[in-house]
Structure 1
């Protein structure tokens, strides 16, 4: 699997309009907790459906996109943060040590 870099409002609008599931991982490159959560997530991401888009947001470079995520998906800003999006709505919001592939998988109906 590979990350899709989230770098524009247009990408966010596409995620909002997309049918099915997407994941957004918000990451601070300056935070050791965020780095640990990202590594742990990547160890298990092969368990996710192959066709699920995995978006990666660098919060340091794109704070404006993070602010748009707060508005579009009605979530509080956290870092690190994992959002599971289904049919344009956020159905799971995890942060810090609570980021879990297992919980995300329990929300996905295949």
Structure 2
């Protein structure tokens, strides 16, 4: 038995495979019109992430690890709010949401129907927005 097994940890050379989510990068103001249109037939989730914040990175990793909604049921948009500050500001204005980071916003029929930030971002809550 190796020392890794003895102490209950895995061999660090065995990398855990990271789940790939169907993120679409939100980089322009025009995409907000597209998001509103898409949300008429399919809920849209916008994840606002700060690349300089360790908490934001941790929340994003937890979100990605636990996300299990079929891409046909919800579209995912990723917003690097430091690189696209104007887009981030417009998200807050258009969807009448106080800016926070990290933040998850769910849009249905052009309206924000859910928002959560920091450790309140839970993928389990998203299923309710995929039901008709």
TM-score class normalised by the smaller sequence: over 0.9
Between the aligned partners of 1:14 and 1:30, the Cα distance in structure 2 is: 28
Aligned to 1:17: 37
Residue 7 of structure 2: aligned partner: none
Unaligned runs of 5+ in 1: none
The 8 Å contact of residues 45 and 104 in structure 2, kept in 1 or not, is answered as yes
**Residue in structure 2 matched with residue 49 of structure 1 by the alignment:** 70
Higher relative contact order (CA closer than 8 Å, sequence separation 6+): 1
Q: What is the total number of aligned residue pairs between the two structures?
A: 109
1:66 aligns with 2:88: yes
In structure 1, how many angstroms separate the alpha carbons of the residues matched to 2:45 and 2:30? 16
TM-score, L = length of structure 1: 0.93
What TM-score do you get using the length of structure 2 for normalisation? 0.78
Post-superposition offset of 1:44 = 1.6
Is the 2:44–2:106 contact (alpha carbons within 8 Å) kept by the matching residues of 1? yes
Bigger radius of gyration among the two:
2
Higher helix share: 1
Deviation at residue 106 of structure 1 after TM alignment:
2.6
Find the aligned partners of 1:57 and 1:98 in 2 and give their Cα distance: 18
Q: Which runs of 5+ in 2 are unaligned?
A: 1-20
2: CA distance between counterparts of 1:99 and 1:12? 21
Instruction: Provide runs of 4+ in structure 1 moved above 4 Å.
Output: none
